[in-house]
Amino acid sequence: MALKDKRQIGKNKSFFQSVGHALEGIRKLVVEERNFRFDLIITAVVLCVGIVLNLNIYDWLWLCAAFFSVIGSEVLNSIVENVVDLIVGHHFDLMAKRAKDIAAGGVLLSAFFAVIIGALIFIPRIMNLLNK
């Protein structure tokens, strides 16, 4: 029986096909998820400030941990929201709300982690610059 369309329903046939699907997922995050774009903008600003302040390798490692914590939790939050919407459709469900709220809480926790890391790295350097 032939497929009516060309949509893939089986496993990827190659590594490059898998990478293509992953890149499409990232594109959808950037295009469709406002908070993901906001996270990327904040990351870019922090990267620029870090370059200007000439951070050391350990500071960069902590910043990367913070960046990927926030971005990773934002991705997981988007997955939860999409799966919940797929299951419940346009109907209110208390358990669906709970799942979405918990996923959003995870993003908020990782954002707090990132703010603490950023403060520990940048505040002493900025204060040092101001005292010169």
pLDDT tens by residue, 32-67:
999 999 999 999 999 999 999 999 999 999 999 999
Specify the number of domains making up the chain.
Answer: 1
In a domain, 67, yes or no: yes
pLDDT tens by residue, 14-26:
999 999 999 999 9
33 carries a ligand binding annotation: yes
Residue 130 pLDDT more than 70?
A: yes
Question: What's this model's pTM, rounded to 2 decimal places?
Answer: 0.85
Residue 1 pLDDT more than 50?
A: no
Contact call for residues 75 and 29 (beta carbons, < 8 A):
yes
For residue 85, the enclosing domain spans 16-130
The pLDDT of residue 84 is: 97
In a domain, 4, yes or no: no
CATH number of domain containing 94: 1.10.287.3610
The pLDDT of residue 10 is: 83
Among the listed residues 29, 46, 73, 74, the single catalytic one is 74
In a domain, 2, yes or no: no
In a domain, 1, yes or no: no
Catalytic residue at 32? no
